A and B are shown apart, each in its own frame.
Chain A
Amino acid sequence: MSDTQSHNVAFVRETFLPESAPPSTATGPVKWIKDNLFATWANGLLTVAALYLIFLVLSSTMPWIFAGIWNAESLAACREVLDGVSGACFAVLTERWNQLLFGFTYPTDQYWRPTLAFVLLFVAMAPVLFFDLPRKLLIFTGLYPFLAFWLIWGGTILAPLLALAGVVVGYLVYDRLVKNSFAAGFFGGIVAAFVVWYIGGFLISDTANENAMLQAVPSRDLGGFMLNMMLGITCVSLSVPLGIALALGRQSNLPLIKGICVVFIEFIRGVPLITLLFVANVMLAYFFPPGSGVDLFIRVVIMITIFSAAYIAEVIRGGLAALPKGQYEAGDSLGLDYAQSMRLIILPQALKISIPGIVNIAVGLFKDTTLVSVISMFDIVGMIRGPILASTDWNGVYWELFMFASVLFFVVCYGISQYSQWLERRLATDHR
């Protein structure tokens, strides 16, 4: 302790004060409750009112849920069992479980195929989502789309193998030509892939599907929550790279590329998704060569993908704009070329900034897949509104069905949200 006098201006500290713990009244649960729930008289009143409101909601819904009937043949049977008591009729979920998940025309004895594809999905996603896992797992991730396609649609294994061959050939051509110029590699790769697919198309005979190992299932037989998952995952994984390309294109110095990207983004953003889906349903077939019969599923995937890619592009553009100019200059001054500085310096940082926005759009996209029910695809909402509610057995069971659909979507969307928050914390390196 220094013994300076208060009226003395000159002061020299001789001993530095040690750190000490805060007083005990400043910590602990009682203090928390007092601070956060009953800080003032009005605050306490609000707390009590809020608690009463929660009680009201729970006291009316909980008995309804707990009195729920899980086994019954129809709504009428349910009501008989309930005998006037207020209770849910969850029997519709157990009775129509498979229809809700797989649609009503997927072959019943083949349900193991989409289920297996769903389980493998987690294996395929793991190395992408958690980059501490061994990088070799990415090989499986690369093969997964073809495997899942074969499992879900069945038919000849030649089709997915041909698709894979096209991608591999396209990549090899790209890799060879890209040394000369990026444009040559990019377009050369795309052309090569299409050539392989076109020629390969002749090699697969029309009867290949008939004696295939897995029974072929046409797209119109897909349905239920499986369809939502398929659309959601395919479209998110395609629209993120497309969105990155559009965002970079919009910043390009080349007026033509910039113009195309701006027009594309502005046009797609200015059109409601539902009109795009109607276009996919009715009109898009005109743009493909006659007889090619591009599948409705693929047409819908294209539409949802470009729709969300336009939004993602704008989110990423925000991330790019948030980076200080010095980051670009530092990359340039070290001699990195455009592709390297984008890949190694700009995009990792811009994407990190854009994570909340991208997740926002991914979650929105996933829920928007239910819109396909208006173009008569039987996703989970289409199943509920169509075959299930229209049946004489279950006509009138709204709450239980839509609650179930909501829970499924909530679980997935909440999972995405939690993952993104973990990712943001994991990537936070600059403000430690």
Chain B
Amino acid sequence: MAEAQMQVSDEVAISIENMNKWYGTFHVLRDIDLTVFRGERIVICGPSGSGKSTLIRCINALEEHQEGRITVDGTLLSSDLKNIDKIRSEVGMCFQHFNLFPHLTILENCTLAPIWVRKTPKKEAEETAMHFLEKVKIPDQALKYPGQLSGGQQQRVAIARSLCMRPRVMLFDEPTSALDPEMIKEVLDTMIELAEEGMTMLCVTHEMGFARQVANRVIFMDQGQIVEQNEPEEFFNNPKSERTQLFLSQILGH
């Protein structure tokens, strides 16, 4: 692991202050405070329903928060659609179920947003797309449709699709939980490579091996709150809160 390359800078990439969110009357996120510096690799874990996915979905406004401030790259997330679209084009996102566009080829999936949002010429967008498809090691599938690819390949395409927008932050929402065990590794390898290049990453995942290897910070959430956060070494070997100890014993126990 090339630790030297994975430097964290002092520049703030994302800051979340006092954020609260309700679904109807259900209080899903409570007083979230989180500052992410450029180059950080943060793994968020927690039991299901703890609000970890909701948290990262608030960052690119897929979910609306009711209280508090979210600032991404200096842009305050408000209800202004122009701000939202600007933030979304700077923040890449990978979903649990890949969400590739099934009616477009792999290449078209990757060039769509650069062409329409960034107004990149088609030829240039295709070159960029091929570059990133090579990076995730599937350039030979470029003209196929998503339905013809395996789950692991689809998730790698989804990562390449996000990278084509040259995002400054990547969000991963349980990228490996819909994959067969044999395919998890190929996706994690891609994500590790990305981390080594200094990408700022927030990952919701239960891949604790990945967290140990890549993360510089692990956050544990329960009941809509941040319960504990620490460096991975400390977090796994010496969890402070009882809730964290219970959670870790359950997922690492077998």
Knowing A330-B99, A334-B88, A429-B147, say if A340 contacts B93 (CB, 8 Å).
no
Asked whether, in the complex, the Cβ of A336 is within 8 Å of the Cβ of B113, the reply is: yes
Asked whether, in the complex, the Cβ of A429 is within 8 Å of the Cβ of B103, the reply is: yes
CA distance A152 to B100 in the complex (A): 48
Tell me, rounded to whole Å, the shortest Cβ–Cβ distance linking A28 to chain B: 33
Q: Name A's interface SS.
A: helix
Closest chain A residue to B95, Cβ basis: A326
Of A329, A349, A431, most B-chain CB atoms within 10 Å: A329
Contact with B along A343-357 (1 / 0, CB 8 A): 011001100100000
Tell me if A132 is interfacial: C-beta within 8 Å of chain B.
no
Contacts of A332 in B (CB 8 A): 60-62, 88
Tell me if B74 is interfacial: C-beta within 8 Å of chain A.
no
Tell me if A327 is interfacial: C-beta within 8 Å of chain B.
yes
Contacts of A109 in B (CB 8 A): none
Tell me, rounded to whole Å, the shortest Cβ–Cβ distance linking A281 to chain B: 43
Q: Name B's interface SS.
A: mixed
Asked whether, in the complex, the Cβ of B89 is within 8 Å of the Cβ of A330, the reply is: no
Contact with B along A313-351 (1 / 0, CB 8 A): 000000000001011011011111100100011001100
Of A334, A348, A352, A431, most B-chain CB atoms within 10 Å: A334
Asked whether, in the complex, the Cβ of B116 is within 8 Å of the Cβ of A336, the reply is: yes
Interface residues on B, range: 20 to 34
Asked whether, in the complex, the Cβ of A345 is within 8 Å of the Cβ of B101, the reply is: yes
Contact with A along B219-243 (1 / 0, CB 8 A): 0000000000000000000000000
Contacts of A327 in B (CB 8 A): 99, 101
Of A326, A333, A352, A427, most B-chain CB atoms within 10 Å: A333
Q: Which of B95, B113, B145 contacts A335 (CB 8 A)?
A: B113
CA distance A335 to B116 in the complex (A): 9
Contacts of B101 in A (CB 8 A): 327, 330, 345, 349
Tell me if B46 is interfacial: C-beta within 8 Å of chain A.
no
Contacts of B117 in A (CB 8 A): 334-336, 340
Tell me, rounded to whole Å, the shortest Cβ–Cβ distance linking A354 to chain B: 13
Knowing A329-B62, A332-B62, A429-B147, say if A337 contacts B85 (CB, 8 Å).
yes
CA distance A324 to B62 in the complex (A): 15
Q: Which of B85, B103, B116 contacts A427 (CB 8 A)?
A: B103
Contact with A along B136-160 (1 / 0, CB 8 A): 0000000001111000000000000
Tell me if B112 is interfacial: C-beta within 8 Å of chain A.
yes
Asked whether, in the complex, the Cβ of A337 is within 8 Å of the Cβ of B62, the reply is: no
Tell me if A14 is interfacial: C-beta within 8 Å of chain B.
no
Tell me if B97 is interfacial: C-beta within 8 Å of chain A.
yes
Contact with A along B62-93 (1 / 0, CB 8 A): 10000000000000000001000110110111
Q: Which of B113, B145, B146 contacts A334 (CB 8 A)?
A: B113
Contact with A along B108-129 (1 / 0, CB 8 A): 0000110011000000000000
Contacts of B81 in A (CB 8 A): 337
Q: Which of A326, A334, A345, A430 contacts B165 (CB 8 A)?
A: A334
Tell me, rounded to whole Å, the shortest Cβ–Cβ distance linking A3 to chain B: 31
Asked whether, in the complex, the Cβ of A334 is within 8 Å of the Cβ of B147, the reply is: no
Asked whether, in the complex, the Cβ of B102 is within 8 Å of the Cβ of A349, the reply is: yes
Q: Which of A330, A344, A348, A352 contacts B100 (CB 8 A)?
A: A330
Chain A residues in the interface with B (C-beta under 8 A): 324, 326-327, 329-330, 332-337, 340, 344-345, 348-349, 352, 427, 429-432
18 contacts between A and B (CB under 8 A): A324-B97, A324-B99, A326-B97, A330-B99, A330-B100, A330-B101, A332-B62, A333-B162, A334-B88, A335-B88, A335-B89, A336-B117, A340-B117, A352-B103, A429-B147, A430-B145, A431-B147, A432-B145
Task: List the 5 closest A-B pairs by CB distance, nearest first.
Answer: A335-B89, A330-B99, A326-B99, A334-B113, A430-B102
